[in-house]
Copies of this chain bind each other. A is one copy, B any other.
Amino acid sequence: LAPLADLAKQRGVQVYHLNIGQPDIPSPPEFFEGLRRYQEQVVAYEPSRGNLALCKSWSRSMNRSLQLETDQNHFVITAGASEAILFSIMAVTDPGDEILVFDPSYANYLGFAAMAGITLVGIPTTIQSGFALPSIDEIATRITPRTKAVLVCSPNNPTGTLMKRAEMERLLELARSRGLFIISDEAYREFVYDGATPVSFLHLEPRNPALIITDSLSKRYSLCGARIGTVISVHDEVRAAVQRMASARLAVSSIEQVAAAYMLDTIPADFLSKALQEYQQRRDLLVRGLEAIPGSIVVRPQGAFYTIVELPVRSGDEFAEFMLREFDLNGRTTFVAPGSGFHVAAGGGKRQVRVAYVLALDELRGALETLAAGVEAFQRKYGA
């Protein structure tokens, strides 16, 4: 759809981007100060495992803010969470193996699965039940001899839901009894609202070798373009497998690693709390705006900065395209991501779209107004 958005812009239409999780919060001054402090004469390779100061800062930062006891030696730095998830998948599978995910889930997991030559098995959750996880028995029916891991993300992209602690415990128990890994994508870990406390799978069992945590600075610190992520695992063989892939690609960009290490050591705790306050206001505005669309189904997001909404349209794909191709309200339109793209199983999320609330309140207000008018226009043209 991105080319359609470009065409709309060429026609002079202003496009509100609710389609992508690119935060608009300024990156921390401490990161830019860290950049200025990079004074090497030669921009040389960092160790393939990652800059050691960054491993240390990241571990300390998690331990401080989450009351954990991670060990810097269990960190491998990666090019964003993307590479962390890809390496984690490849570390625990052979081509032809299977990994369980809960539909809807992050669209790019499919891309990583394709690169690893494995199959994602999508276990459906429904908007009507607030995207709650199915029972452990139901999950267990999807396990085959080729199943190697469950890949989870809480707070969730795309639904904005949080996994309950009891759900996490049951998943851990299932992993133990069936010999599976849990790959926990914690890129949004700190993005929890209404006074909730961030929960890592490491809080449950900090030394469980079945746990592979993937993390990223992208969302938490508005540093998507820095491409700094990590794999955390106490499992020596998993880490060795990740390290082999890290060695093959030599290293992650040096300058951002040095800057990120400085940032994690110096950033005030209120950077995140201020950002969260802002996102929570946006969340509240978004939910009100979406609920005001007659016939919509809205699940109030508790975390991250996304939600999946069901709209009174026959197809989320067609609607998203319609918004870019032919609709505008006073020269403006809203770009949303079709819900179908977040489903492994065919036919899921048909009347749904994903919305990222990464715009300032005024912009978001305009985006919602335009979206509501678009739904009406689409219904007039194609029926509800």
Contact = CB atoms under 8 A, between A and B. Distances in A.
Interface of A: 20, 22-27, 31, 35, 38, 40-46, 79-80, 82-83, 86, 90, 95, 108, 110-112, 114-115, 117, 222-227, 244-245, 247-256
B43 A22 contact: no
Contacts of A46: 225
A251 B255 CA distance: 16
* A-B CB proximity, top 4 nearest: A111-B248, A225-B254, A82-B249, A43-B225
Contacts of A111: 244-245, 247-249
A45 to B, nearest CB: 5
Contacts of A108: 247-250
B41 A22 contact: no
Task: State the oligomeric state as a number of copies.
Answer: 2
Contacts of A86: 248-249
A2 to B, nearest CB: 9
Contact of A22 (B45, B110, B225): B45
Contact of A35 (B22, B227, B252, B255): B255
A79 B22 contact: no
A362 B119 CA distance: 55
A265 B86 CA distance: 34
Contacts of A42: 22-27, 222, 225
A282 to B, nearest CB: 16
Contact of A117 (B45, B95, B112): B95
